A and B are shown apart, each in its own frame.
Chain A
Amino acid sequence: MPRDGAALWDCAAARAKAFALVAAVALGGFATLLIAAGKDPLKAYADTLLYVFGNAYGFSELLVRMIPLMLTAVAAALPARIGLINVGAEGQLYMGAWLTTAGALAFADRPAFVLLPLLTLLGFIGGGLWALIPGLLRAFRLVSETISTLLLNYVAPLIVSYFIFGPWRSPDSSAYPQSPAFAEAARLPSFFHSRIHLGLVYALAAVVLYALAMTRTRFGLDMRAIGGNPEAARRLGIPVIRYMLATMFIAGGVAGLAGMAEVTAIQGRLVSEVSPGYGFIGFLVAWLAGSGASGIVVMSFLFALISAVGDILQITQGVPYAVVNILMAVILFIVLGRQPVGSGAR
């Protein structure tokens, strides 16, 4: 590790250079594809930059989008430290939103200082319990958590749909099924006359706590031991199964907070599409960040920016939003392909 300033600067410069190269190749590749499809990618890039950095509102929207990405990235990074692969943050987000809604509808008459902590807790528990299912299946060596978290991603949105088309369907929205609007006390406060909400604090706190827990506590040390060699850790007396379950619960809970924030701050009610795939992107963010805390923040910013490109393309050029997934995938392809051959990268 470089310790003095100059070496640190060199290291940062080298990283920035590598980063710029990846970005340039990915943006170029994506642009080529869009030109082939008869679109104008350069205008889309310029529009995005203008929108995001041209005024305070655009930039605030970028921060808003970083919130669920940071939370779901932590949800993927934490289990990764003990060798578990949680690809289920999307489903955990939905279940967090679902339990939050149950609380918001049941306790609508409580004041905000009671209701908001309660909803935060419920969001955490909703996502946490959902993640505990794959955690248990894995801990008892029944099903690999990779496949179970992936499958459960398809179940959670159906549970949400069941409730908003059924028991929670708002009577005054017949055309577009959604839950009744939450009470004002159940709305997570926003700042600066923008949509930036308290969830940003949750997200930053989650990242900081994650970093501190991993580097400064016994739990972090134990977890790194398990990640390094589970069998050795078990023989050392570390309760590996308990760590697996706790880690999955906490990770799911953090993803559930993303769902809680989406429904209480952005939507103000439960809708069928709580997330356009934040959970999946969060996994990629965590992976690109190597599960490092500062990397999660940087990569969340980058992916929020990319998803803004998707919005711009959809609005100005009629390209489906999903097309922006190509850009994300190409970045990942390049990063995956650039790893030095033979390094045995994880």
Chain B
Amino acid sequence: MNSALIAGVVTSSIMSGTSLLYATLGEIIGERAGIVNLGIEGLMLIGASSGFAAAALTGSPYLGIAAAALAGAAVNLVFAYLVVTRHANQLAAGLSLMFFGVGLSALIGGPFVGALITGLPRLSIPGLDPGGIGARLASYDLLVYLVLPTSLLIWWLIFRTRWGLGLRTVGESPSVAFAAGLRPHVLQYQALAWAGVLAGIAGAHISLALTLSWAEGMTAGRGFIAIALVIFAKWNPLWAIAGALLFGGAEALQLQLQAAGADVSPFIMTMTPYLLTLLVLVLWGWRRQSAAPAALGRTFVGVE
């Protein structure tokens, strides 16, 4: 491998890891509040399509991000209403949300197939030689630069603030949280709203920074990989960074090898992220899942 290829792998693993990390962070917040959301994939599609549509209409990719975040939050609040207020089964509601996202994104994105947009501009770090390898390695869009601070912020919120303590209490035992004077349902709504924002941004990063186009189903299962990454990360935002980089790296490597004309079928290589996810979960084993919030997936009906 020459240095250009390595530079390509590094930059593109950071690019594809970014969207994965936003989605994983969103799922972590929700699961910390005790709610499994299998619909992340749908939220990402809605984010990708609405972000792309807004960018195409207004000409501003930043407005696209805002639209994607809002759309993600709004749709995830519907999910929140079902699972928190109506006590619906979380797995069924999550899959329904995925279907909803597939459909809604096709409706939103339909008129914009083939539209041209200005992608998220790459901001280079001042002082680097613009032609050099340093500039190639360090010129990303805003969302890439923000993803690490976001991870740290979410870690701080979950583990170092009163709000986070409440959130984790709800995820471990809603009735204890309730007895302690917290309002579990309010916290769960808040968590899911933020999860929606992050999943929407995750989708928007794909359409606004990676592909610069909209195609149906373009997130290709990344939402489900994010759910697996939450287990990998032990529900910890800092571990999620490592996980997202690993999977971004796997995807980037296969894309670069394909681009370099490696003599392996592209279909075999496209499988790698999914198989790698499965492999990591197998190696990590079930034991790791004991780190899960105790009340994950359960319904809090209230106390007498």
Please determine whether A326 and B107 come into contact, CB atoms closer than 8 angstroms.
Answer: yes
Please determine whether B274 and A154 come into contact, CB atoms closer than 8 angstroms.
Answer: yes
Please determine whether A154 and B88 come into contact, CB atoms closer than 8 angstroms.
Answer: no
Please determine whether A332 and B110 come into contact, CB atoms closer than 8 angstroms.
Answer: no
CB of B202 to closest CB in A, whole Å: 17
A85 with B228, Cβ < 8 A, contacts A143-B286, A162-B268 known: no
Chain A proximity mask over B206-236: 1 for CB below 8 Å, otherwise 0 = 0000000000110011001101100100000
Q: Which of A87, A151, A153, A321 has the most B CB atoms < 10 Å from its CB?
A: A151
Once the chains are docked, how many angstroms separate the CA of A142 from the CA of B284?
A: 8
Please determine whether B106 and A323 come into contact, CB atoms closer than 8 angstroms.
Answer: yes
Top 5 A-B pairs, shortest CB-CB distance? A325-B103, A326-B103, A329-B100, A322-B106, A336-B88
> What residues of chain B have their CB less than 8 Å away from a CB belonging to chain A?
38, 78, 81-82, 85-89, 91-93, 95-97, 99-100, 102-107, 110, 216-217, 220-221, 224-225, 227-228, 231, 265, 267-268, 270-271, 274-275, 277-278, 281-282, 285-286, 289, 299, 301-302
CB-contacts of A262-281 with B (<8 A) = 280
Residue of B nearest to A150 (CB): B224
Please determine whether B267 and A329 come into contact, CB atoms closer than 8 angstroms.
Answer: no
Once the chains are docked, how many angstroms separate the CA of A339 from the CA of B89?
A: 10
A345 with B89, Cβ < 8 A, contacts A151-B225, A158-B270 known: yes
Once the chains are docked, how many angstroms separate the CA of A85 from the CA of B277?
A: 19
Q: Which B residues are CB-close (under 8 A) to A345?
A: 87-89
Q: Which A residues are CB-close (under 8 A) to B221?
A: 150-151, 153-154
CB of A261 to closest CB in B, whole Å: 24
Once the chains are docked, how many angstroms separate the CA of A154 from the CA of B105?
A: 19
Once the chains are docked, how many angstroms separate the CA of A155 from the CA of B289?
A: 24
Q: Which B residues are CB-close (under 8 A) to A284?
A: 92, 95-96, 99
Interface of B (DSSP majority class): helix
Please determine whether A151 and B278 come into contact, CB atoms closer than 8 angstroms.
Answer: yes
Please determine whether B216 and A322 come into contact, CB atoms closer than 8 angstroms.
Answer: yes
> What residues of chain A have their CB less than 8 Å away from a CB belonging to chain B?
33-34, 37, 85, 87, 137, 141-144, 146-148, 150-155, 158-159, 161-162, 165-166, 280, 283-284, 287, 319-330, 332-333, 336-339, 341-346
Once the chains are docked, how many angstroms separate the CA of A295 from the CA of B221?
A: 30
Once the chains are docked, how many angstroms separate the CA of A287 from the CA of B93?
A: 11
Question: Of B82, B89, B278, which is within 8 A of A333 by CB?
Answer: B82
Once the chains are docked, how many angstroms separate the CA of A66 from the CA of B277?
A: 33
Q: Which B residues are CB-close (under 8 A) to A332?
A: 92-93, 96, 99
Please determine whether A344 and B301 come into contact, CB atoms closer than 8 angstroms.
Answer: yes
Question: Of A33, A287, A339, which is within 8 A of B87 by CB?
Answer: A339
Please determine whether B89 and A147 come into contact, CB atoms closer than 8 angstroms.
Answer: no
Residue of B nearest to A161 (CB): B267
